[in-house]
Amino acid sequence: MSSSVSMVSVKLWSKEYERELLLVRILSDEELICIAAESGLVEYRELCKEVSGRRAYVSNDVRKKLVKDIVEKVSDEKLVEAFKKVKPRVYPEDVPFRGNHYTYYGNGDLQLISSWSDAKRDVFEVLEKGGERVYAFLKALVELTEEMLKNKDTRFCYLYGPDYGSILGRMREILGRFEPLTPRDFLILKAAKIYYKSGSRRNPAHSIPLEIIPAVKEVLEEWKRSKGGAHY
């Protein structure tokens, strides 16, 4: 499955799509090469030896082929063993990968379990603390991210989320009034590991881990219903 496939077009949340998200989000270029090699894809072994222990950069086309090969040719068991050997770092730092098929907190310990229940719990807790203002922020962030995924590949959307101006505009549409987040709101969201700052110093942005979007959407709907079906 190509990295250019958008989340919006995925009718059923497949393990293959989530594996793509895992590889795209977590692995640097040299880690991706060595994960492929350690997973049994022998054509990447020499390249892994060359890049081992140092930073490496490959073209976007090569990276997409690496992801495609691992998604299509490697078993879960081989992938777990490769993660143990390579021990990739978590990116963004301190934000675990909590998918429906894969969970990764770092240190090479890739688990074949769902963490959506944990993500849902954390989303519900931040909604209870931040109320409709945080609801509107998360809803806006999810909607704008899904719109980005129609035109951008998954790697881009992990690195560059929507800008704050666009989020505030969507929040105004959702709430019917202007109500930005407070510094405390951002701290709560970051502590729950369902949000992180992305982009660059020149072009700051805000992101949600793509792998938890379906879980977040479910909680947003449940929370809205629990408040009596508010107008937003």
196-199 and 204-207 strand pairing: antiparallel
Amino acid 15: pLDDT: 93
Which stretches of the chain score pLDDT less than 70? 1-12, 229-232
DSSP string, 165-232: HHHHHHHHHHHSS--PPPHHHHHHHHHTTS-EEEE-SSSEEEE--GGGHHHHHHHHHHHHHHTT----
Length of the chain: 232
| Triad 4, 10, 14: Cα angle to 5° | 100
Domains, in order of start, for the chain: 7-114 (no CATH), 117-225 (1.10.10)
Kindly report the backbone phi and psi dihedral angles of residue 17, in degrees, each rounded to the nearest multiple of 5, phi listed first: -65, -40
Amino acid 1: pLDDT: 38
The whole-angstrom separation of Cα 75 and Cα 114 is 17
The whole-angstrom separation of Cα 78 and Cα 195 is 30
The whole-angstrom separation of Cα 115 and Cα 117 is 5
Amino acid 10: pLDDT: 41
